Amino acid sequence: MSASSDRILELLQQISVLNELEDHYRAGPKSADANEQSKQRRKRRQQIRKEMKDLASSARNKVPIER
């Protein structure tokens, strides 16, 4: 696998963990600390999605066009 493919897999794993933590947050009490952690998880998910889009865009630009 290429480095970008490995990175995307790593990012997908991170999103999975963040989503699981968010599920626990939704089911539990909503303290100020828990709210802040949820906000940070949302921010991190946005960063991950942007990085994944950038990696995919970069990979598309490197693929030779078949004629």
**Domain boundary assignment for the chain:** 3-57
pLDDT tens figures, 11-65: 999 999 999 999 999 998 889 999 999 999 999 999 999 999 999 888 888 766 5
Query: Residue written as tokens 């790593």?
Result: 10
> How far is 41 from 48, CA to CA, in rounded Å?
10
Instruction: Specify the length of the chain in residues.
Output: 67
Query: Residue written as tokens 């990696």?
Result: 55
> How far is 39 from 15, CA to CA, in rounded Å?
14
pLDDT score for 1: 65
